[in-house]
Chains A and B, each alone.
Chain A
Amino acid sequence: MLALPCAARAAAGPTVATLDWALLETLLAMNANVVAGAELRQFIDVAVEPTVPAGVTDLGLRGIPNFEALYHARPDLIFNSNFYLANEARLSRIAPVETHSIYLPGESPFAHSIQATRAIGERLDLPSGVKMIERLESQLGSQTRILAGGDGRPVLPINLGDARHYRVFGSDSMFGEVLARLGLTNAWTGATAYTAMAPMGIETLATMPDAWIILIPPHPADALDALGRSAFWNALPPVRDGRVLTLGAVNPYGALPAAGRFANLLTEGLARAWNG
Chain B
Amino acid sequence: MHGMADIARPQPRQGRGMAVAGLGIACLLLLLLLLLVWLMPAVPGEPGQAETLHSILLWHSLMPRAALALLAGAALGLSGALLQHVLRNPIADASTLGIAAGAQLALTVALGMAPALLLLPREIIAFGGGVLSLAVVLALSWRRQLDPVTVALSGMIVTMIASALSIAIILARGEYVMSIFIWGSGSLSQQDWSGVLSLVPRLIVGAIATALLMRPLRVLSLDDAAARSLGVSIHATRFAVLALAVWLAASVTAIVGVIGFLGLAAPAIARYCGARTTTEITTGAAIIGAGLLFAADSLMQLLGPGFSDLAPAGAATALFGGPLLLLLLPRLRSTLNLQVASVSAIRRLSRPVVGLAVLFAGVTAVFLGALAVGASDDGLTFSLGASFADLLPFRLPRIVAAGGAGAMLAVAGLIMQRITGNPLASPEVLGVSAGGGAGLTVVLFLVGFPTPPVMLGAMAIGAVVTFLLMMALTARSGFSSERVLLAGVAAGALAMSIMTLVLAQGDMRSYILLLWLSGSTNNAGPLHAGIALGALVVLVAPLAFCGRWLTILPLGTAVARGLGLQVARARLMLAVLAALLTAAGSFIVGPLSLTGLVAPHLARMMGFQKPGHQLLAAILLGAGVLMGADWLSRLVIYPYQIPLGLFAALISGPYLLWLLSRKSGSST
Give A residues with C-beta under 8 Å from B.
Answer: 39, 42, 46, 57-69, 71-72, 86-87, 89-90, 93, 159, 161-162, 164-165, 167, 193-194, 198-204, 206-207, 209-210, 218, 220-223, 226, 229-233, 235-237
Q: Report the stretch among B15-23, B55-63, B351-359 that lies at the interface.
A: B55-63
Asked whether A68 lies within 8 Å of B176 as measured between CB atoms, the reply is no
Residues of A within 8 A of B376 (CB): 68-69, 72
Instruction: Report chain A residues within 8 Å CB of B374.
Output: 68
Quick one: CB contact mask for B162-194 with A, threshold 8 Å, 1 for yes? Answer: 000000000111111011011100010111111
Contacts of A209 in B (CB 8 A): 45, 49, 53
Tell me whether A65 and B522 are in contact in the complex, defined as CB-CB below 8 angstroms, given that A39-B174, A60-B639, A206-B56 are known contacts.
Answer: yes
Q: What are 25 A-B pairs with beta-carbon distances under 8 A?
A: A42-B173, A42-B175, A64-B520, A66-B522, A66-B634, A68-B374, A68-B391, A71-B391, A71-B394, A72-B377, A89-B525, A90-B523, A161-B179, A162-B179, A164-B190, A199-B187, A201-B61, A202-B191, A207-B43, A209-B49, A210-B45, A218-B175, A231-B192, A233-B192, A237-B49
- Are B45 and A220 within 8 A (Cβ)? no
Of B272-280, B504-512, B560-568, B570-578, the segment with at least 4 beta carbons within 8 Å of chain A is B504-512
B183 to chain A, nearest CB (A): 6
Contact present for A221 and B506 (CB under 8 Å): no
A86 to B522, CA, bound (A): 11
**Is B341 on the interface with A (CB-CB < 8 A)?**
no
Q: B193's contact among A161, A202, A231, A237, by CB below 8 Å, is which? A: A231
User: How far apart are B304's CB and chain A's nearest CB, in angstroms?
Assistant: 10
Separation of A62 and B639 alpha carbons in the complex (Å): 11
By the criterion CB–CB under 8 Å, are B375 and A68 in contact?
A: yes
Docked CA distance A83–B149 (Å): 45
Contact of B111 among A203, A220, A233, A236 (CB under 8 A): A220
Pick the contact of A64: B111, B122, B522 (CB < 8 A).
B522
CA distance A232 to B634 in the complex (A): 47
Known A67-B394, A69-B638: A232·B174 in contact at CB below 8 Å: no
Which residue of B has the minimal Cβ distance to A67?
B394
Q: Say which residue of B45, B178, B190, B640 sits within 8 Å of A60 (CB atoms).
A: B640
Q: How far is the CA of A203 from the CA of B49 in the complex (A)?
A: 15
Given A42-B174, A63-B171, A71-B390: A162 and B507 within 8 A (CB)? no
For A206, list chain B residues within 8 Å (CB). 43, 53-54, 56-57
Tell me whether B643 is interfacial, beta carbon within 8 Å.
yes
- Bound complex: CA A152 to CA B220 (Å): 70
Most buried by B among A89, A164, A204: A164
B179 touches A203 (CB 8 A): no
Measured CB to CB, the closest approach of chain B to A64, in angstroms, equals 5
Question: B375: which A residues are within 8 A, CB to CB?
Answer: 68
Judge whether B539 is part of the interface by a CB distance below 8 angstroms.
no
**Residues on the B chain within 8 Å of A64, using CB:** 171, 515, 520, 522-523, 640-641, 643
Contact of B362 with A by CB under 8 A = no
- With A and B bound together, what is the CA distance between A24 and B357 in angstroms? 50
Q: Would you call A87 and B111 a contact (CB within 8 A)?
A: no
Specify which chain B residues have a CB less than 8 angstroms from the CB of A204 in the assembled complex.
Answer: 308
- Tell me if A162 and B183 are in contact (CB < 8 A): yes
Q: Which B residues lie within 8 Å of A46 (CB)? A: 175
Whether the pair B182, A60 counts as a contact (CB closer than 8 A) is no
Answer whether residue B30 sits at the interface, using C-beta atoms and an 8 A cutoff: no
Q: How far is the CA of A229 from the CA of B641 in the complex (A)?
A: 40
In the complex, what residue of chain B is closest to A201 when comparing beta carbons? Answer: B189
Name, among B122, B507, B639, the residue most crowded by chain A CB atoms within 10 Å (CB to CB): B639
What 5 A-B pairs have minimum CB-CB distances, sorted nearest first? A232-B191, A69-B639, A232-B60, A221-B115, A161-B179
Contact A201 B308 (CB under 8 A): yes
CA distance A46 to B173 in the complex (A): 11
The A/B interface has a contact count, at CB < 8 Å, of 159
What residues on A are CB-neighbors of B54 within 8 Å? 206
One digit per residue, 1 when the CB lies within 8 angstroms of any chain A CB and 0 when it does not, for chain B 296-327 equals 00000000000011000000000000000000
Asked if B547 is at the interface (CB within 8 A of a chain A CB), the reply is no
Is B118 a contact partner of A86 (Cβ separation < 8 A)? no
In the bound complex, do residue A58 and residue B45 qualify as a contact, i.e. CB atoms below 8 Å apart?
no
Question: How long is the Cα–Cα vector from A212 to B191 in the complex, in angstroms?
Answer: 19
Known contacts A68-B394, A204-B308, A237-B49; can you find 4 more A-B pairs with CB under 8 A?
A89-B525, A167-B178, A206-B43, A220-B118
Interface centre among A39, A63, A159, A226 (most CB of B within 10 A): A63
CB neighbours of A63 from chain B (8 A): 171, 174, 511, 515, 520
Structural contact, B189 and A165, CB atoms closer than 8 A: yes
**How many Å lie between the Cα of A68 and that of B57 in the bound state?**
53
Give which listed residue, A62, A162, A194, A198, contacts B174 with CB less than 8 A: A62
Q: Does B393 contact A (CB under 8 A)?
A: yes
> Is the CB–CB distance between A61 and B172 below 8 Å?
yes
Contacts of B187 in A (CB 8 A): 164-165, 199
Give CA–CA (A86, B115) in the complex, Å. Answer: 34
**Interchain CB contact (< 8 A) of B641 among A61, A89, A202, A220:** A61
Nearest B residue (CB) for A167: B178
Produce 1/0 per residue, B606-642, CB < 8 A to A.
0000000000000000000000000000100011110
Query: How far, in Å, is A240 (CB) from chain B's closest CB?
Result: 10
Q: Are B393 and A93 touching (Cβ within 8 A)?
A: yes
B44 located at the interface, meaning its Cβ lies under 8 Å from any Cβ of chain A in the complex: yes
Select one of A89, A165, A236 contacting B178, CB under 8 A.
A165
CA distance A164 to B178 in the complex (A): 12
Query: With A194-B507, A203-B191, A230-B192 in contact, do A61 and B179 touch (Cβ < 8 Å)?
Result: no
CB distance from B201 to the nearest CB of A (A): 17
B490-523 to A contact mask, C-beta < 8 Å, 1/0? 0000000000000000111001000100001011
Q: Which chain B positions have C-beta within 8 A of A93?
A: 390, 393-394
If A68-B394, A209-B49 touch, whether A199 touches B182 (CB-CB below 8 Å) is yes
Interface centre among A39, A46, A206 (most CB of B within 10 A): A206
Residue in B115, B192, B395, B643 whose Cβ sees the most chain A Cβ within 10 Å: B192
B354-377 to A contact mask, C-beta < 8 Å, 1/0 = 000000000000000000001111
Cα–Cα, bound, A237→B179 (Å): 25
B179 and A90 contacting across the interface, CB-CB below 8 Å: no
B377 partner, pick from A57, A210, A220, A223, beta carbons under 8 A? A57
- Which residues of B are found within 8 Å of A71, using beta-carbon distances? 390-391, 394
- Tell me the bound Cα distance from A223 to B308 in angstroms: 21
Residues on the A chain within 8 Å of B61, using CB:
201, 203, 232
| CB-defined contacts of B183 to chain A, threshold 8 Å | 162
The smallest beta-carbon distance between A249 and chain B, in angstroms, is 10
Contact A221-B53, Cβ < 8 Å, known A57-B639, A63-B171, A165-B182: no
**With a CB–CB cut-off of 8 A, which chain A residues contact B56?**
206, 232, 235-236
CB closest residue in chain B, given A205 = B191
Q: CA separation between A204 and B53, bound complex, in Å? A: 10
Minimum CB–CB distance from B196 to chain A (whole Å) comes to: 12
Q: How far is the CB of B252 from chain A (nearest CB, A)?
A: 15
Most chain A beta-carbon contacts within 10 A, residue among B175, B190, B309: B175
Shortest B520–chain A CB gap in Å is: 5
A54 to B624, CA, bound (A): 39
B174 pairs with A199, CB closer than 8 A: no
Query: Of all chain A residues, which has the CB nearest B398?
Result: A67
Cβ–Cβ < 8 Å partners of B511 in chain A: 63
When the two chains form their complex, are residues B507 and A59 in contact, meaning their CB atoms are under 8 A apart?
Answer: no
Which of B173, B525, B641 is the one whose CB lies under 8 Å from A66? B641
A200: chain B residues at CB < 8 Å are 308
Report B-chain residues with C-beta under 8 Å of the C-beta of A59.
Answer: 639
B122 surroundings in chain A (CB, below 8 A): 222
Chain A residues positioned under 8 Å from B190 (CB to CB): 164
What residues of chain B lie closer than 8 Å to A164, measured between beta carbons?
182, 187, 189-191
Q: What are the residues of chain B within 8 A of A58 when measuring CB–CB?
A: 639-640
**Chain B residues in 8 Å Cβ range of A207:** 43-45, 53
Docked pose: A125 CA to B183 CA in angstroms: 48
A231: which B residues are within 8 A, CB to CB? 60, 191-193
Complex CA gap A232/B640 in Å reads 41
With the chains together, A158 CA to B281 CA distance in Å?
46
